[in-house]
Amino acid sequence: MNAVNPAFAGSHDHRSCISHALGAAERLCASQGLRLTAIRRRVLELIWRSHRPSGAYELLGQLSAEGHKPSPPTVYRALDFLVAHGLVHKVSSRNAYVGCMHAGQDHVAQIFICDGCSLAFEQADGALDRRIRRNARDLHFHIREQTVEIAGLCPDCAETGRDD
């Protein structure tokens, strides 16, 4: 097990992640006059229940199993809010979402996703961000959004040869 990267640690306590994420969301919303509605809060909790990207329909299914009756647009609006305010990142290659480990901080995410077990870990490398922005400037390219996704194997899957 890799104890350095909590996303890649099998004995990781997600309750701590959920608590930290909700606290960051509450502080961010309070400081910006935003509403963290019950559905937005619950979607954020569900995303943080593991470090695997969650799809909108997976979230919808979990909400329905809990007795909620949200429509797909309700879940997508909650996700749009969470992405717009930097509380989650969209993982375009998986059409899914992961919690932001740097909520409220100006950063560009690099998301490492394991092909074996689907765990995801976020890094925020300012040097890489500056290089990408410099390259865009040199190309006269206007960046609309930026998330770098890196696919590979986590330490456990690499060690066991798991590559689903």
Q: Give the CATH number, domain containing residue 34.
A: 1.10.10.10
When pLDDT is averaged across residues 46-63 and rounded to a whole number, the result is: 94
Q: Is residue 10 part of a domain?
A: yes
Per-residue model confidence (pLDDT) at position 14? 75
| pLDDT tens by residue, 130-144 | 999 999 999 999 998
Cβ proximity of 98 and 79 under 8 Å: no
Local confidence band at 10 (pLDDT 50, 70, 90 cut-offs): low
Q: Is residue 88 part of a domain?
A: yes
Count of C-beta atoms within a 10 Å radius of residue 145: 8
Q: Is residue 1 part of a domain?
A: no
Local confidence band at 163 (pLDDT 50, 70, 90 cut-offs): low
| pLDDT tens by residue, 78-111 | 999 999 999 999 999 999 999 999 888 888 889 9
150 vs 70: which has the higher pLDDT: 150
57 vs 104: which has the higher pLDDT: 57
41 vs 156: which has the higher pLDDT: 41
Q: Report the number of distinct structural domains present in the chain.
A: 1
What is the residue whose two structure tokens read 């390219």? 141
Cβ proximity of 154 and 132 under 8 Å: no
Pairwise CA distance, residues 23 & 128, whole Å: 28
Pairwise CA distance, residues 29 & 1, whole Å: 35
Cβ proximity of 117 and 163 under 8 Å: no
**DSSP category for residue 5:** S
Per-residue model confidence (pLDDT) at position 5? 54
The pTM of the full predicted model, rounded to 2 decimals, is: 0.86
Local confidence band at 11 (pLDDT 50, 70, 90 cut-offs): low
Domain limits for position 152: 6-160
Q: Is residue 26 part of a domain?
A: yes
83 vs 162: which has the higher pLDDT: 83
Per-residue model confidence (pLDDT) at position 130? 92
Q: Is residue 51 part of a domain?
A: yes
